[in-house]
Structure 1
Amino acid sequence: TLTLRQSTPPTPGQTTKAALVIPVAVGLLGANGGDLLPEGTRVLELTGAEACFSFDGLPGRPVPSLLRGFSAPVRLERETTDAERAFLMAHDSDPFNRWEAGRAYAVDVALRMLAGAAPDAAWLDALDALAGDESLDPAFRALALETPGEDELAREVFARGALADPAAIHAASRALRRAAGARLGATLERLHAAMAVPGPYSPDAEPAGRRALRNRALALLVARGTAADLARAAAQFDAADNMSEQFPALAALVHADAPQAADALAAFFDRWKDHPAVVDKWLTAQATAPVADAAARVAALTAHPAFDWLNPNKFRALIGGFASGNPSRFHAADGSGYAFFADWLLKLDPRNPQTTARMAGAFETWKIYDEDRQRLIRAQLERIASAPGLSKDTADIVGRMLG
């Protein structure tokens, strides 16, 4: 028997919500990983607050695969064990559910590591099996190998009733990637070699998927942290005849603060300096590097000829990249990242209030962080709000965050 319940949070003017009609596409997986239902997937209609659906003639207790094909735009909450998630990662015929099982498992593993646990061996084994499954599309495997982001983990910590510590989350996230790179090392090395795309560059889906998987394998290998892995990234950078292969290698070197990073940055800029969108990526790669002196490096880049603070794309790439894409350094414990960002918002506001207001959204989740960081962010928000001549756009956004 499968029990489904639904609830819709109240909205202004509607404190009580009627039940919706929700189509739930369901598959039931047997012990061998195959679908037990004759039709593979069955669509159940949830029309009330709760309903029970029975399935007869099953050979054993199945593992359900719910909302196949994203059959309804809802948020699914279900209790699953690690073993069930690993099973779905290995066997679910629905790609989204297979990915979602791995994502939810990885988030839980990361949060356990945040609390001091060791990397989960079963998760690493399941991830290795998925990475090496040649029946799966390379593009899908690339997505499945992506580990949870630090902002996602911070939101999940808060959703589970605690305040987020960005430094601790960064350490756990880094340890998670390092463990994955080490455990999957042989598979990742094989993929990095096998997924190389011969011949001239093509943007078609098949070679793009191969490149994506190769780049994901490289990122995890570099996270493993050996000199040989950094040399592998440098070799990919040097050999690349297109930006789609060269930039991920550059980002891996820069984020690892590798000895080869400075030369690679210079070579990349020299090659792509006449392509503004690629130069934006060059700026962002540096702004998002989780190095100790990240804010100082970003400050130095504001004097680079490639940076024009009045160009919204350049401002987003560098200043926005630091605030929105480098959580461990933006949330530096001394508040220097917040002050640096607020300085630039106040500088930009008189000239471009629309971009300033949008960029200020980097402060939007400030209440999910620990009390010390909340105090530091509030001080910067109040400084912005009290600035003489502040634009209405920015004042509205900042006032809403303070309110």
Structure 2
Amino acid sequence: MSDNQTSPVTAVQPAAKRLADYLPPDYLVPALNLTFRLAPQTTRVTAVSQIERNGEHQRPLILDGEQQQIEQVLVDGAEVAYQHTDGKLTLANVPAKFELTLVTVIDPQGNSSLEGLYMSDGAYCTQCEAEGFRRITFFPDRPDVLSRFSVRIEAPTEFPFLLSNGNKVEQGRLDDGWHYACWQDPFPKPCYLFALVAGDFDLLEDNFTTKSERDVKLQVFVDKGNLNKAHHAMASLKKAMAWDESRFDLEYDLDIYMIVAVDFFNMGAMENKGLNVFNTKYVLADEQTATDEDFHGIESVIGHEYFHNWTGNRVTCRDWFQLSLKEGLTVFRDQEFSSDVGSRAVNRIHAIKVMKNHQFAEDAGPMSHPIRPEEVIEMNNFYTVTVYDKGAEVIRMMHTLLGEQGFQAGMKLYFERHDGQAVTCDDFVQAMQDASGKDLSQFRRWYSQAGTPELTVTDSYDADKGVYRLDVKQFTPTRSNEQPKLPLHIPFSVELLDNEGNSLVNELLELTEASQSFEFDVKGGAPVPSLLQDFSAPVKLHYQYATAQLLVLMGFASSEVARWEASVSLFSQAVWQNVARLQQQQAMSLDSSVIDAFRAVVLHATQDHALSAEMLKFATANSLIEQVEQVDLDALFSARDFVIDAIADATEDELLARYRELVGQDNAASRSFKNAILALLARSADGHESLLTQQFNAAEGMTDALGALAAAVAGSADCRDELLEQFGKQWQDTPLVMDKWFTLQGSINEDSVLQRLTGLQDHPAFSFNNPNRVRSLLGAFASTNLPQFHRADGQGYQFLTNVIKKMNGLNPQVAARIMTPLIQFSKFDAQRQQQLKACLQQLLDLPDLSRDVYEKASKALGQ
């Protein structure tokens, strides 16, 4: 192909990138100067790079770039020949050290993928992680090329705020009503951390004084009219900054820290150095429009992105296979932050739910991968619960094994060794090992082995010797193309209680072999074991608990998390017993001891209300599915509904009395407990519609209003549609609240729900161009309304397939993320598997199929 010619796009099967093929970059870019002349369809980008050859070689310079029009390519000021083909710009015979100038034109307004530079409600915004920078200019778009960025932004004065990374060094007026701002980031960073925002916002300002007495300016930018909803985000930021100093001895390093909230965003938020871009969902909140859960989520995500300043920015990833290096570690840090400033037990329960409801399913599905993947086709597909949440569990296991002091010593050594570098997961583990003296060589297998390990535990008691014995076997399932998996280093926390609930033993065991035995001196009879306390490792536990044992644990385990786990096991056993009865064509029933156990939760006078609420938020169908190898979906749905309804009916009087006691208690824990009770009352024989409407109409905040509405929807109350209509009219101009409304609409368990969802796609508040709207209405339906998504006629599958077809052309990232329910079918009956595979084949037959969707569909079909 001749120089300066662009090749056509060809429909070839995307190739996988492999960790084993990693090579250091051929060229480094110590400094990059960017100038943006912003225009909606013709933004001109001038990129001046200082480039140095990395090592002794004569290979060409190859830069990544997509969706750009090239105007000029200069090497040391002189025009040069180049090749532009298949997203690459190639320059041959370049000097060992030179200045490269590139002038390109891009179209932010036409960029519906929301990667690179795009427009969100009239403002310019960027998203460059993982590989979006190549849509801004041609560059070695990989995380191990670190540059010092200088940025100049030019725009009309109708965009008064011109923001980028680092510190502002200059601003001024230009001709014809334009102005400019210049920013310099003193810290080298990979291009995925670059950010630019230009727009007109409301601004909330504050300050934070660091431990070394440096004054940092804090700024939160929100859409006009939303300033009153930014105060919780600001308070959360200051709380996170103080916590990181006190717990991890880490101080902020720039003169300014900025957060910008935008409504069009593929992710939750992005940690760009000094300029974090957030989905409005994780910034805007007041009591009228946000629930207690929203307030908690904002605090957590604000903390997460701030904590990335060190774990992700100052020390970053060598390559994208190391993504869990920054994400798993930072999720662990934000979990600890939430636990230190809130309820440790409830925060731990929420993390466990994510693992059991979602990550275990990912491990069992076609996209199963270790927390450090071995190969990828589209990196955007690997921002997964495995990389993030299982990655955090792996960090937590290290913390458990080393203790707080040893872990903090490892963190300190990690930063001393690697500040300003792009490193690997192995570098992190090595720092932990060297600082603590703990041998973590076997533990490293957690990074390279996919799948959920399973622990099978049996026990015995020798009454004559007073010895209790635990026999533990560990096994990780393998796929047909995998080698047998080796034993892992697993922290296994155990408490032994007597039948009156007294704690006899509380010990951390370490599993390192395929089979191990442990003996304990226990007098007075066989103890009740609380195994894998606080979910001390991300594994499936197989132990045949008797109902009597679970009742002891629910009432007396020293760990609140263990009490909750016992309640989940008790409920799950009741469901599976009734699944078996249905399969044997027997009548369903529920033992009175199970009812009494949950009655005790309702009546418990001293237990934390938030913990009681979690015990009454019964295991979801998703989590139940992950407990078995094969599932009869129809029987499962019927059995689960039966058990919940039976508990609600039998405890109706106690529920009603407790509800009335909780009315007026103005704290998040009591509201959570009250709304969990209301949801059960809505499912009882009476239905208590008067309570639903009374709470809805009297609600002084979103938590109680939504609690009543959700209970009406889940309980199929007669007042449901009236309340939905009232809620929709009240909040039709508030997008984030309408997202909650859309989600509830999609959760209605009636055959007419698909018709309802189709009609709502024409609602003025809905847009396929906005990821929040698509996720709330359509993604939530497929992931939470399992009876309707998995309906026997296959219409639920086809409905989602049609949505993915549409999103494939608009926003491939969102298309791939909402398609997960289509690919996790191995446990279902043959008819449903066939229907799902047919839908996936429809996607593979699309002529313009994105890499994002192709990777998931092809892996699901084994291609």
Q: Does TM-score exceed 0.5, indicating one fold? A: yes
Name the CA shift for 1:46/1:136 in 2 (closer, same or farther; >3 Å). same
Unaligned runs of 5+ in 1: 200-206
Name the CA shift for 1:377/1:24 in 2 (closer, same or farther; >3 Å). closer
Residue 140 of structure 1 pairs with residue 611 of structure 2? yes
Q: Deviations over 1:309-360 (max 9, x none)?
A: 1111101111112111111111111111111111111112111111111111
Aligned match for 2:494, one of 6, 26, 38: 26
Q: Contact (CA 8 Å) 1:192, 1:214: kept in 2 or not?
A: yes
Q: Which moved more, 1:207-216 or 1:376-385?
A: 376-385
- The answer to which structure has the higher strand fraction is 2
SS in 2 for 1:367: coil
How far apart are 1:179 and its partner, in Å?
A: 0.5
Q: Contact (CA 8 Å) 1:10, 1:17: kept in 2 or not?
A: no
Q: Contact (CA 8 Å) 2:662, 2:670: kept in 1 or not?
A: yes
Equivalent residue, structure 2, for 1:308: 767
Residue 96 of structure 1 pairs with residue 556 of structure 2? no
Q: Contact (CA 8 Å) 2:491, 2:537: kept in 1 or not?
A: yes
Aligned match for 2:523, one of 43, 58, 65: 58
Counterpart-to-counterpart distance in 2, 1:273 and 1:367: 40
Q: Contact (CA 8 Å) 2:679, 2:715: kept in 1 or not?
A: no
Name the CA shift for 1:50/1:389 in 2 (closer, same or farther; >3 Å). closer
SS in 2 for 1:42: strand
Counterpart-to-counterpart distance in 2, 1:176 and 1:380: 33
Equivalent residue, structure 1, for 2:597: 126
SS in 2 for 1:156: coil
Counterpart-to-counterpart distance in 1, 2:819 and 2:592: 40
Counterpart-to-counterpart distance in 1, 2:530 and 2:837: 44
SS in 1 for 2:841: helix
SS in 2 for 1:232: helix
How far apart are 1:103 and its partner, in Å?
A: 0.7
1:304 corresponds to which letter in structure 2?
A: H
Equivalent residue, structure 2, for 1:285: 744
Counterpart-to-counterpart distance in 1, 2:507 and 2:784: 41
Q: Contact (CA 8 Å) 1:177, 1:224: kept in 2 or not?
A: no
Q: Contact (CA 8 Å) 1:195, 1:211: kept in 2 or not?
A: yes
SS in 2 for 1:33: coil
How far apart are 1:19 and its partner, in Å?
A: 5.3
Equivalent residue, structure 2, for 1:362: 821
Residue 240 of structure 1 pairs with residue 699 of structure 2? yes
Name the CA shift for 1:149/1:35 in 2 (closer, same or farther; >3 Å). same
Structure with higher RCO (Cα < 8 A, 6+ apart): 1
Tell me the C-alpha RMSD between the 2 structures. Answer: 2.1
Aligned match for 1:226, one of 674, 686, 689: 686
How far apart are 1:172 and its partner, in Å?
A: 1.6
Counterpart-to-counterpart distance in 2, 1:24 and 1:230: 46
Name the CA shift for 1:330/1:59 in 2 (closer, same or farther; >3 Å). same
Equivalent residue, structure 1, for 2:711: 252
How far apart are 1:186 and its partner, in Å?
A: 1.8
Name the CA shift for 1:297/1:85 in 2 (closer, same or farther; >3 Å). same
Q: Deviations over 1:113-146 (max 9, x none)?
A: 1222412321111111122111210000000112
Counterpart-to-counterpart distance in 2, 1:328 and 1:378: 19
Alignment of 1:3-402 (within 5 A): 3-9=470-476, 15-18=484-487, 20=489, 22-37=490-505, 41-56=506-521, 58-116=523-581, 117-157=588-628, 159=629, 162-165=630-633, 167-198=634-665, 207-227=667-687, 229-402=688-861
Q: Contact (CA 8 Å) 2:469, 2:519: kept in 1 or not?
A: yes
Q: Contact (CA 8 Å) 1:237, 1:250: kept in 2 or not?
A: yes
Name the CA shift for 1:185/1:19 in 2 (closer, same or farther; >3 Å). same
Equivalent residue, structure 1, for 2:363: none
Counterpart-to-counterpart distance in 1, 2:840 and 2:567: 37
Q: Contact (CA 8 Å) 2:473, 2:514: kept in 1 or not?
A: yes
1:133 corresponds to which letter in structure 2?
A: H
How far apart are 1:175 and its partner, in Å?
A: 1.1
Equivalent residue, structure 2, for 1:202: none
SS in 2 for 1:347: helix
Counterpart-to-counterpart distance in 2, 1:394 and 1:387: 10
Q: Contact (CA 8 Å) 2:733, 2:765: kept in 1 or not?
A: no
Aligned length: 387
How far apart are 1:46 and its partner, in Å?
A: 3.9
Unaligned runs of 5+ in 2: 1-467, 582-587
Q: Deviations over 1:234-254 (max 9, x none)?
A: 111111111111102111212
2:766 corresponds to which letter in structure 1?
A: F
Name the CA shift for 1:66/1:301 in 2 (closer, same or farther; >3 Å). same
Counterpart-to-counterpart distance in 1, 2:836 and 2:536: 40
Name the CA shift for 1:45/1:381 in 2 (closer, same or farther; >3 Å). closer
Using the size of structure 2 for normalisation, the TM-score is 0.43
Q: Contact (CA 8 Å) 2:579, 2:636: kept in 1 or not?
A: yes
Equivalent residue, structure 2, for 1:204: none
Name the CA shift for 1:266/1:55 in 2 (closer, same or farther; >3 Å). same
SS in 1 for 2:724: helix
How far apart are 1:382 and its partner, in Å?
A: 0.9
SS in 2 for 1:339: helix
